[in-house]
Structure 1
Amino acid sequence: MDVFRALEIVDARRGEVTALALGDALGIFAAFSEENELSQAARLLLTTEFIWADGDIFLNAIAAEFQADEFRDRLGRLLESKWTTLESLLLSDNLRKSIYGAVTIETQPTNKGSQSKFGEIDLNRLLVKRLPLRSSLDRPTVAISDSYLRKALPRRKAWAISLGISNDDGTITDDGKALLEGMVSLNQCGPSTFTVWPLVHELQSALFTSMRARGFPSVTFFDLLSATTSALVKTGTSNTLGVDELAREIQHIHCDYQKLNTAKRIVRSELPLRVLERCLVKFAIRGQGLPSVRDSIEELQAAHPYGIRVRASRVAEYAFSFGGK
């Protein structure tokens, strides 16, 4: 269930299974689109979700063509690159220790291995005043265990092959090369490694705003989705949809979103941006490009006669609803 939750498919709490953003989007494709569109959408969206949830490991495994020694070296460079970036922004002993504890790969030789994401650190602690940094505080030694490699590589190789990013022998397909180039264009990389950072909406505090202003390499989910779409469908963002057409499409998707769960229709009065953006990949699949809702929010709110209301949301970034003018 942890995997399904991490990929934004479903979550289960207190005996109740709840569809998350990707689960809702795929449900809408399954119920209201052609089968071919569903399979293509699943490929695009799952690839994007793997990058968001597991990009540090997944992308470096692909780039290493699943060769253990090269993968190990890439993970070492990944840690060094992230540590260097964060050390330049967080300047106290305690914060540096937190960096090393949060940005790491499990290295115990008797442990089968797991990964830790930067997003897991409690960054509210960064607001507490700390003592100045001691130059004597050293980085930990990077040592990736063989047992971790044995567990990490086969699973991700199977993902990459099923998505058409890697061949059966682990070599990179043309789509895989285009995908890695897209991540480089988003600055989700370091010296001979890939480094995927938390998304903009995951960094909402004033402290994070300051970090972004100083060059923190964060992107939006739409940036990841657009790069994936450009690589796998060979099309990027496009303004081929007019504002009125986009407004009508949002209204249709909102209706489909409510129909998916009639028991919760009332609480589904708002369409989350994270569901909407995933549903709009159908236009890229049809060769019309991927529309950017984020760039059209003001125009959408003024779109007559649809009465689109847009509310900023800490969880969903934006939520869309409809009502009279």
Structure 2
Amino acid sequence: MIDHNPKWLTLYQKASLAAEAAKKAETSPGAAGRCMAAAQVNGGPACVCPICKARRASGREIGQFDAFWRDQATPHDLADILERAQKDLIVTLENGTETRVETLSPPASKTPDGQDFRLAWDNADEFQRYLAQWLPEIAARIDGDPPEASTDLADTVRRARDFLMPLTEAPEVTKGAAGMSRRAYSVAALRLLDEVENLSAAFASAPADDDGDEPPEHEQRWWRECFAEIAVRAFNAGMLARAAGGKEIEADALKKRGEVAKNQKNAPKGGDKNRLKKEERYAVLNRLARESFNLFSNVGDRQALRNAKSLAREYDRTADPKLFASEAGKPLRDIWFKDWLATFRLPGNSIY
């Protein structure tokens, strides 16, 4: 059978399957005992128990994949490997209402998320750990050296503007002092971004000394890069501080979200809600009719209906919301009062 997959994918899949089989063998019941027993029987340097055989197979397949991407892979192959590996190494971190998707890395390389990565690392197989360790080098072969700080700054400012601009025209979600509104904060943040870019340009063109001579190009670049790095760090620090300060609010938001979900779960369905509304109206009108029994005793149905509607209107004059009105605010139809009257005059329900 002809394999139409690109070579990198074939090697990737083989390494992945072999590592998965080794992980399964290692975690099977009684695995460690079988490995020790086989080693004692063989007495040779290479244990032939299922665990060790699976480990050696995994190591061979990973070695072949390693040799390929280092010596034979094209830039296109490396890009495909990076994309596939990033999908296979997704780790989701959560805190309060925040969720962040990361790519698995060795736990020691992540602070303060080390413990969260530790759990994912412990559950990973040998090939997943291998990829996590070498992805930075694969990415470096594709992208070259990391971007300069000024490039990072320009990208950060662009993304910030894209986020803030719509907020300057968005409806306000809170009430109070205009200076603390979402629009005010957004406009102020955009103004600060303008100042950051202006200061960066000023650093780049600053004279080297008091004689007014323009600094050499390398010194301009040095100033620009220093400022850009400071600006990026300050910007990120501000974002993190804002996120940290909002944790208390997030706790309240989570509590409220739970209450809303509970209320929605326990809320009456549409039919139950209508039934409860009808029962409430009947109970109130029954009470009013019994208190004004002369309006319903020894009178015909037509007059009794007029009297019932009059009692309902009088009750709704002081009721908020109006009980004897539809959701649109209109008075209930005659058919409703006819149904009520028929029920009211049933034996045991009326004044008779």
TM-score (structure 1 length as normaliser): 0.25
Greater Rg over alpha carbons, structure: 2
TM-score (structure 2 length as normaliser): 0.24
The structure whose residues are more often helix, as a share, is: 2
